[in-house]
Amino acid sequence: MLSLGVAGQAQASEPYAKQVISSVVLTGNVGNSSSNPLDTLGAPDSKFLAMGGPGASIVLDMGDTPIVDGSGPDIEIREIGSATGGVDEEYRVLISDSTDPASFVLVGTGSAFSLLDISATGLSSARYVRIEDLSTATSNSSTPGSDIESVTSLHSGNGSLAPVTGLAYSVTNNGIRLSWNPMTGSGVLGYSIRKSLDGVRFDSTANWTLSDLDTAFLDNQATQAIQNIQPQVVGDLWYGVSVRYSGGESALQIVHVSSLTTSLYTQVEHLGDNTMATWQVPSPTTKLTLNLYLPAVPRGPFVKLNFDLFDVDNSTNRVVINGHAQRTLPVQSAESWQGKSMVFESGLFLQGNNTIEIHSRDSGGGSTGNLDDFQIRDISLTRLDP
């Protein structure tokens, strides 16, 4: 067994890896210029171990600040590929209270900055962390494999790089506003903000970098053109805020912006003008009208209409909100069900009663020619939870 410690080593009570118990570091195809396992110890400091690719591993000792099962994520792993000019890469994380290789329990896989919850492992705490490289993306570079910078226990110890406090959010008509308490001291350089769609993986390169004077930030989604909005923008989001110090970067503090999805119509409906004997609903109708009651105008700049589509051939079929704002129903020409979404401005919806109309059209956009026959089901509306 190999036990190493010193470079970047955390002090007692600091929540970082304190010792390397063992490691297998590979060279990739052209050598490895960042092969020192000690660079994973201590607080985030831009030093890292390039593990080398599949087959590489490292076991770290958290010492007096073990990984503890607390509320939310319990362990932060920083893989800094894209932040150093490379790519963010994937790895596997296991934990144990013993160095016996057979005792380690899988926590999960991560990539880039990952925040993982150990509750499913059955362990209330664990002193040792094993990271196994899964990446083949950089085998031909001088820093092959996952680039591990640091491991942080999120519920034990007191780090010298204090995290941000008082993090909160509000939903505005323009987007998501974050706020936090100011961090003081000569070593504070500013703040980094990252956005995630799952609350686990955050890019190693910050989405936004702010100065030390900033104590709030607006993710101004309203400035984005509607045609460029990806469907997943409307839905649950996680923001991670860290403090940038002259000596490194604090652990991420996370806020979860939740969403609400309202089911509007679960049945299968056939729109068009031809009888399709083999379909679930053979006989068609030309228009589907849905009624929706909203207690208030949706917060945030956008809402998302979700549905499953079957055999939509024309790009002229229409969705109409409250009698105006015609939009094109997505094409889905396969004779199978596929999930699709459309994004609409929140201001198209009213407090109280709303109508959503879905129209079948012919290839020229008319309503009297050979209409497009398609099926639609499981229609729902997703909006941000204020």
Q: 42-99, pLDDT tens digit by residue?
A: 999 889 999 999 999 999 999 999 999 999 999 999 999 877 777 899 999 999 999 9
Q: Are 231 and 343 in contact (CB under 8 A)?
A: yes
**294's tokens:** 């909203």
240 bridge partner residues: 194, 254
pLDDT computed for residue 9 by the predictor: 62
What's the pLDDT band for 10 if we cut at 50, 70, 90? Answer: low
Q: Are 114 and 124 in contact (CB under 8 A)?
A: no
DSSP single-letter state for residue 163: P
DSSP single-letter state for residue 21: E
pLDDT computed for residue 100 by the predictor: 97
pLDDT at 28 over 90: yes
**240's tokens:** 């991670």
What's the pLDDT band for 1 if we cut at 50, 70, 90? Answer: very low
Q: 237-267, pLDDT tens digit by residue?
A: 999 999 999 988 999 999 999 999 999 999 9
pLDDT computed for residue 229 by the predictor: 46
Mean pLDDT of the chain: 91
